[in-house]
Structure 1
Amino acid sequence: MNRTKTPLTVDPSVLADLLDGRWASERRRGRTLVEHPDTVPPITGDLDEMREATLRGVRALGESGSTLRSLPTELGGENDHAGYVAAFEESVTASPSLQIKAGVQYGLFGGAIQHLGNAEQHAQWLLPAQRGELLGCFAMTEIGHGSDVASLGTIAVYDPAAEEFVITTPFRAATKEYIGNAAAHGRAAVVFAQLITAGVDHGVHAFFVPIRTEDGEPMPGVSIEDDGRKGGLLGVDNGRLAFADVRVPRTHLLDRYGAVAPDGTYSSPIDSPGRRFFTMLGTLVQGRVSLDGAAVVAAKLGLDIAVRYGLERRQFTGADDTEEVVLMDYQQHQRRLMPLLAETYANAIAHEVLLASFQRVFSGEDDSDEARQLLETQAAGFKATSTWDALDVLQECREACGGAGFMTENRLTGLRADLDVYVTFEGDNTVLLQLVGKRLLGDYAAEFKNIDVGGVARFIGTQAAEHSLYRSGLANVGRTIGEVLTPGLTERRIRSGRLQELLLSARVDTMVAELASNLRPASKLPKEEAAALLNENQHELIEAAKAYVELLKWQALNTAMHTFDDDPRRADEAKALRRIRDLYGLTLIERSIGWHIMYGRLSMNRARQVGPAINRLCAKLAGNAADLVAAFGYGPEHRRATIAEGVEARRQTEAREHYRRARAQADHPVDEKVLHRERTRKG
């Protein structure tokens, strides 16, 4: 047995409270959604059947009243934005299609009305939208302008004589594309278009536009096309929308940040067009927050299934001539699943940090520019990395379950297909990480503006100045940061939390400083040359952003690890969390081991300790693998995978036993009583 022989005594419910966080009750209430007969769609069916089944789930969610939770108290809500999102993202356990279609309806369509509209518009459209009575779309993305929202081609020209906006798709590339709810069910859309009045383009604004009649036919001037089958999320009816001089009343402009008077005069509480644009988009950050959490839920489900199967499934004989080895006892099986388990713990705990930021901003507790910028940076970075991580987790879990994992009934292939597009919508991940990278550069420039070289060293402090010595090769040969801190080569030393944080943070510091140095000439170059210089450093910008987000997630996990430090009753839970923290940190370091060696952060001797330390941690955590996935809080009704309930493993064991018995009888007939005694002796 290669799992630890003395596993910790871990109470999964204690870890569950930590993972579910401040909004645990709302999150757990969201998991009960699977008990409603309309929320879990069939695993197979034609496109229309899948769409109708998902629509029933969306309506059931609206009828439950949970979609009103984020509304202000005057509209019957609780102003609890994070609680609403925490419950909502758990709908992935029922179906990712339900989570996305409901997200379009309640989070994007309803959310745009709530955050961009006025009180009168709330009274007219918001409550029907949040109850699932008024089905709608969020029409932002265009064929020719995906993530480049500022350059959208759709126009809304104000006609003062009629007091109407004329909405037009001037060319094919301005067609709204991949719009959820558009192909079949949407009756209205929040359409993003360039607002033009008196010949002046005031930039992108949002308009409430009816797209279908009560009979379900397209409104005059509205063209609707069905995107058809996709690689996943078959329950979501994505489609294209185009507009040929579609007129809507002036009052259909969602005018919280920009209004047009009857005579066409434009006004806004925000003078700067750029700041106004980003403020409008910032109110829609909820989509990225919920996708981050939904990706974590999907990763949890995949690991729950794969770990349970790995603890049951046997393959090949090892030390015993007849008894086959449980998959989880193989080192490579531990290596493929335990680091992903630690990563998912980190993502889940970091998501709670993001939810707290989201609640502070959207509840009005802290609506400052600084708080909003922090939220937007966290949401962009966390969503990008968590959705990529979820795909990796689900693919590895599928492979770890062999052929059984490829069966539709065992959920993993369906989850992987549905989660695929999460990396693209609500902002392509690569684009989102560029936003994070630019924020890092902006912060760097603000911190070091007008400070000379000596001032920079004093500002950063001894630690960062020491990093610069190693980076420039001026330090003593063979002396690295890791060795200065922890001179021994024991497992305890390589697992030092201080060393992990120093290595992770030093990498971010160095990458950002190098980027700033490389891009410094851009401010004095012509626009074309400056753009070319940025393009030459785009990969480094994205890598720096990834490193920064990894550091934030490690720090969130490290903080959570200390939760039970002062509670002797929770010593084993604290030790399990420390192992998870160490495995996550060392895995991040191992992924970039070449960088740490090249930049003098780790010596070759120290670097060689990382892999063996990871192996030992994997073996120790594998001993508590069942407890660690039980802490996710999912039951058979959430997993809906026979291999996770021991059924498949027992079937395969019975088949192997039957085969061995048949062979034994054919080659050396043996008394059945003897075989029975032998099986009983081995348990």
Structure 2
Amino acid sequence: MADVIRSKKPSTHRHTPEGGAPTAAHSAAEAAEARIDVAGVTAMLLGTWAEARLESREMIKDPAFWQIHGQPMPEHRERVLGQLHAFVAAEAAGRAYPVEYGGKADNGGNLASFEELVLADPSMQIKAGVQWGLFGSAIQQLGTESHHEKWLADVRTLALPGAFAMTEMGHGSDVAAIGTTATYDVEAGEFVIHTPFRAATKEFLGNAALHGRAATVFAQLITGGVNYGVHCFFVPIRDENGQMLPGVTSEDDGVKGGLNGIDNGRLAFDHVRIPRENLLNRYGDVAPDGTYSSDIPSPGRRFFTMLGALVQGRVSLDGAATTGAALAEYIAITYANQRRQFDSGTGTDEVVLLDYGKHQRRLLPRLAQTYAQFFAHDQLLRTYDGVFSGAHDTPDERENLETLAAALKPLSTWNALDTIQECREACGGAGFMAENRLVDLHHDLDVYATFEGDNNILLQLVGKRLLSDFAAQFKEKDAAALARFAVGQTAGRIFHGAGLRTLGQSVADFGSTARSVELGLRAEQQHELLAGRVEQMVTDIATALRPASKLSQAEAAALFNEHQSELIEAARAHGELLQWEAFAEGVAAIDDDGTRQVLTWLRDLFGLSLIEKHLAWHLINGRLSTQRAASVGRYVDRLCARLRPHAQDLVDAFGFEAEHVRAPIALGGERARQDEARAYYAAQRASGTAPISEKTLRKQAAAGGR
């Protein structure tokens, strides 16, 4: 049966069962609208290091790199180890390392190519990250030339597989409080690495259970009876035959909720001795006589500088989570454009899932979120490369990088889980089948929300930076300037709280919701609402915490704890603002008219979805009138309907090939089933052998009795 002739506008017919819209345009061509330049958008989303991403995608088209659904854990672990050896053979390992050790000194390209591995098998990606991004980078970033000479080349070739031993059973995100000690023995010229109690056991370490031969161990450096805080040490743990070295104990974590291709385990040390030279001493050193020295006199600054040198984990998780969400959206939206459910009751074809308004609402705002993340991540990656290439390596730029990574990684990893789950449900039972990848993808990316720091703790770091920046505005200001600020704040509170702004909106909006939207929810107003929310939240928290300076330490801590949730929410709002701004900058740089128009709608959908999510806050704080607030949801619906014909183009622009998708429902399997069913019923009708329905029989009988 031929496709139903479709109108150029989405249907508003109220009698379509289940809210379906069988006349909705399925493509921009059918809608006679501007279309995006798919190849051009793909190039934008691939970003600054597009070539590195494409090289990685080409490599993982080989089935040898693909995850095997349901593979037993032991076999999966060995398969992933073999895949890492294949990386080495393909010269795809250690791209960020110096050229003299076999690398390419390409920091941005290294992370870009690494992030794409999530398309093949997240276990493979994370194990690669452990080997070359954590273990190897600790040596590269925290060690000096002698350490590089000893170990980097072997790390790159996997001749020296290793673990990154930071997290402990008793301390995860609070690295400064770890219990492992490294006590210097002056007479022997050695450090003694020791696990003093069970909670100090190193935990969740990739390569610890089976494959690692050494570990970069974070421990409290003690010399001359003084604890100089956390430093990193190179500690051998197994011999060349895989046997544990004396004093080192390994335990296998066993089956996890996901990422079971990685041999995660625990490490404990019983007075294990290592040479003094195994201290990775870029930021702090111990002389043979036990004297400690550092170019960074502040213990706190030294600690954060060392951790900041390892920020690439957070950066790469932001990118990998975004790619994972994009894969889920490609599967779900492609399926929704082919799967049919419920007919219109008029003998037409069943309705395609994406024609339903609720289905659009489920998927398209999340698609807009993922686009925003692609743009924001490329900015983050450029900042990272600028710092680690040395082009923009300043203390301020390092602090900006750390804050940006801590703001974006929580949002993208949380969004990946939310998106994958919604996509799974949107695909019904088919989404629950392992072959369609969504369930495994959710399991494997679940831990991304606590990798490299719990998301809430990272946002707290961002919140503290926001408070610090707020306080810096008043440094060295005189009393008159502070008084003017206080008056301005009071005036602002009256202005918002008393509804003066909302009254003005109501007058402007009178009689026209559509006009309300056009007047008050354009790009400038979206930015004003998003930025204004951050500013007011930070101001309110800073004001509430002002008495802390006059309180005891315990009382000040209690006061901070009262406002911790508000601070984290302010940091989250700041991250959302950064993503919106990155999206807006990306749209502004587009030359093609059709692409710019469609991505402007998508940017607006992202911004208005954020405003809708926080609508109560905007109403309570007088930022929106009731009438304009009511229009936000309706405009989100309008944007979803407007973007519906472009949905396939927008996910096609991710640039995934069949070898990257590997989900039958998104690779023609569902379309083939639907075409077969439609052809079957069409043939029945054409031959006159189709049975009539009971309802039709009753109608005929009723007509005959009149």
User: TM range, normalised to the smaller chain?
Assistant: over 0.9
Q: Is the 8 A contact 2:61 2:660 kept in 1?
A: no
Tell me: CA distance 1:125–1:476, structure 2 relative to 1, closer, same or farther (3 Å). closer
2:634 paired with 1:612: yes
Instruction: Tell me the secondary structure at the aligned position of residue 303 of structure 1.
Output: helix
2:197 paired with 1:171: yes
2:446 paired with 1:420: yes
Aligned counterparts of 1:62 and 1:256: Cα–Cα separation in 2: 28
Q: Is the 8 A contact 1:305 1:643 kept in 2?
A: yes
Instruction: Tell me the secondary structure at the aligned position of residue 515 of structure 2.
Output: coil
Q: Deviations over 1:195-249 (max 9, x none)?
A: 1111111100001111111111111111100000001111011101000011111
2:679 paired with 1:654: no
Instruction: Tell me the secondary structure at the aligned position of residue 169 of structure 2.
Output: coil
| TM-score, length of structure 2 as denominator length | 0.90
Q: Is the 8 A contact 2:516 2:628 kept in 1?
A: no
2:489 paired with 1:470: no
1:643 is aligned, of 657, 660, 665, to 665
Instruction: Tell me the secondary structure at the aligned position of residue 167 of structure 2.
Output: coil
Tell me: CA distance 1:458–1:358, structure 2 relative to 1, closer, same or farther (3 Å). farther
Q: Deviations over 1:570-627 (max 9, x none)?
A: 1000001101110000000000001101111100110111111111111121111111
2:368 is aligned, of 335, 342, 346, to 342
Q: Is the 8 A contact 1:2 1:331 kept in 2?
A: no
2:28 paired with 1:6: no
Equivalence for 1:297: 323
2:536 paired with 1:514: no
Aligned counterparts of 2:348 and 2:524: Cα–Cα separation in 1: 47
Q: Which of 255-264 and 428-437 deviates more?
A: 255-264
Instruction: Tell me the secondary structure at the aligned position of residue 127 of structure 2.
Output: helix
Sequence identity percentage: 53
Aligned residues: 664
Equivalence for 1:632: 654
1:70 is aligned, of 71, 75, 96, to 96
Aligned counterparts of 2:649 and 2:414: Cα–Cα separation in 1: 25
Instruction: Tell me the secondary structure at the aligned position of residue 324 of structure 1.
Output: coil
* C-alpha deviation, 1:452, in angstroms: 6.3
Q: Is the 8 A contact 2:207 2:263 kept in 1?
A: yes
Aligned counterparts of 2:104 and 2:493: Cα–Cα separation in 1: 50
Equivalence for 2:465: 439
2:504 is aligned, of 470, 479, 485, to 479
Tell me: CA distance 1:476–1:236, structure 2 relative to 1, closer, same or farther (3 Å). closer
2:82 is aligned, of 56, 63, 73, to 56
Q: Is the 8 A contact 1:40 1:57 kept in 2?
A: no
Aligned counterparts of 2:346 and 2:129: Cα–Cα separation in 1: 53
Instruction: Tell me the secondary structure at the aligned position of residue 315 of structure 1.
Output: coil
Equivalence for 1:574: 596
Unaligned runs of 5+ in 1: 670-683
| TM-score, length of structure 1 as denominator length | 0.93
Aligned counterparts of 1:482 and 1:458: Cα–Cα separation in 2: 31
Q: Is the 8 A contact 1:489 1:606 kept in 2?
A: no
Equivalence for 1:681: none
* C-alpha deviation, 1:36, in angstroms: 3.4
1:46 is aligned, of 52, 67, 72, to 72
* C-alpha deviation, 1:425, in angstroms: 1.2
Aligned counterparts of 1:640 and 1:573: Cα–Cα separation in 2: 28
Instruction: Tell me the secondary structure at the aligned position of residue 595 of structure 2.
Output: helix
Aligned counterparts of 2:690 and 2:48: Cα–Cα separation in 1: 63
Q: Deviations over 1:411-453 (max 9, x none)?
A: 0001011000000110000100000000000000111235468
Q: Is the 8 A contact 1:39 1:58 kept in 2?
A: no
Aligned counterparts of 2:483 and 2:160: Cα–Cα separation in 1: 59
Equivalence for 2:5: none
Aligned counterparts of 1:238 and 1:308: Cα–Cα separation in 2: 36
* Pairing of 1:136-535 with structure 2 (within 5 A): 136-318=162-344, 320-451=346-477, 455=481, 467-473=492-498, 475=500, 478-480=503-505, 489-535=515-561
2:639 paired with 1:621: no
Q: Is the 8 A contact 1:19 1:632 kept in 2?
A: yes
Tell me: CA distance 1:553–1:666, structure 2 relative to 1, closer, same or farther (3 Å). closer
Q: Is the 8 A contact 1:308 1:644 kept in 2?
A: yes
Aligned counterparts of 1:548 and 1:499: Cα–Cα separation in 2: 16
Q: Deviations over 1:310-356 (max 9, x none)?
A: 11111111264241111111111111110001000000100001001
Instruction: Tell me the secondary structure at the aligned position of residue 213 of structure 1.
Output: coil
Q: Is the 8 A contact 1:17 1:24 kept in 2?
A: yes
Q: Deviations over 1:85-142 (max 9, x none)?
A: 0011000011111111100001000000000011111011111112222110000000
Q: Is the 8 A contact 2:517 2:628 kept in 1?
A: no
In structure 1, give the amino acid aligned to 2:630: R
In structure 2, give the amino acid aligned to 1:71: Y
In structure 2, give the amino acid aligned to 1:178: F
Equivalence for 1:667: 691
Instruction: Tell me the secondary structure at the aligned position of residue 624 of structure 1.
Output: helix
Q: Is the 8 A contact 2:39 2:653 kept in 1?
A: yes
Equivalence for 1:585: 607
Equivalence for 2:7: none
Q: Is the 8 A contact 1:481 1:602 kept in 2?
A: no
Q: Is the 8 A contact 1:258 1:266 kept in 2?
A: yes
In structure 2, give the amino acid aligned to 1:667: P
- Structural RMSD (CA): 2.4
Q: Which runs of 4+ in 1 moved over 6 A?
A: 457-462, 659-664
* C-alpha deviation, 1:474, in angstroms: 7.3
Instruction: Tell me the secondary structure at the aligned position of residue 273 of structure 2.
Output: strand
